[in-house]
């Protein structure tokens, strides 16, 4: 199944690099990771410009050596960092991998989306989608959380699209 959320949370308590980029629940601190990638990208650009000027001033050997240093010292670590973050995130989660807090937030969002669908031209499609997602979450929820998820799925399934005004035709 790959790396689970619990595996990431356990690792987050062990490694300083993981603690820097992941919270105690194993969720990625996206802004921190984005900041590191941005800083490394700026370093790549600035160092490439500096190597280009040095190569123009001192010859092609300096350019080649500088390009190799930039590649090994900045570009490779940047690629390794991005690869590391992507591999830790895995290929996605099933609903059973969600924490109770996440599952609750997803269900609340589905209820809100179903309510927001009222009066829209595609209201019936939106309600069907929200109900289908809620039932999927309820099916995959652990036993102790299943009743709450079923209640939300029933609530969404009970919402009916407003009758369309046929006199406007």
What are the beta bridge partners of residue 22?
28
Same domain, 82 and 117: no
Asked if 113 and 126 touch (Cβ cutoff 8 Å), the reply is yes
Same domain? For 81 and 12 the reply is yes
The conformation of residue 72, written as its DSSP 8-state character, comes to I
Residues 125 and 58 in one domain: no
Residue that is last in its domain, among 41, 73, 92: 92
Q: Which domain range does residue 27 map to?
A: 5-92
CA pair distance 87, 92, nearest whole angstrom? 11
The mean pLDDT value for 89-101 works out to 62
The pLDDT of 82-94, averaged and rounded, is 68
Percent of the chain with pLDDT over 90: 11
pTM: 0.44
Residue 169 in domain: no
Q: What is the pLDDT of residue 49?
A: 92
Structure confidence at residue 157 (pLDDT): 87
**12 with 46, same domain?**
yes
Q: Please indicate, yes or no, whether residues 82 and 118 belong to a single structural domain of this protein.
A: no
Q: Give the Cβ contact number of residue 26 at 10 Å.
A: 20
- For the chain, give the mean pLDDT: 81
Number of domains in the chain: 2
Instruction: Check: CB of residue 34 under 8 Å from CB of residue 41.
Output: no
Predicted confidence (pLDDT) per residue in 97-139, tens digit: 677 888 889 889 999 999 998 888 888 888 888 888 889 888 8
């Amino acid at each position: 199944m790959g790396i689970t959320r619990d595996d990431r949370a356990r690792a987050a308590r062990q490694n300083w690099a993981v603690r820097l980029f992941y919270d105690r629940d194993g969720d990625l601190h996206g802004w921190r990771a984005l900041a590191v990638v941005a800083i490394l990208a700026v370093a790549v650009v600035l160092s490439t410009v500096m190597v280009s000027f040095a190569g123009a001033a001192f010859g092609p050997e300096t350019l080649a050596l500088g390009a190799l240093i930039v590649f090994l010292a900045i570009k490779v670590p940047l690629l390794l960092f991005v690869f590391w973050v992507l591999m830790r995130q895995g290929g996605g989660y099933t609903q059973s991998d969600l924490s109770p807090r996440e599952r609750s937030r997803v269900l609340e969002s589905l209820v809100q989306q179903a309510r927001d669908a009222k009066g829209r031209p595609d209201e019936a499609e939106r309600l069907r989608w929200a109900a289908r997602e809620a039932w999927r979450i309820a099916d995959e929820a652990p036993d102790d959380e299943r009743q709450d998820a079923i209640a939300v799925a029933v609530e969404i399934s009970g919402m009916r699209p407003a009758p369309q005004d046929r006199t406007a035709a």
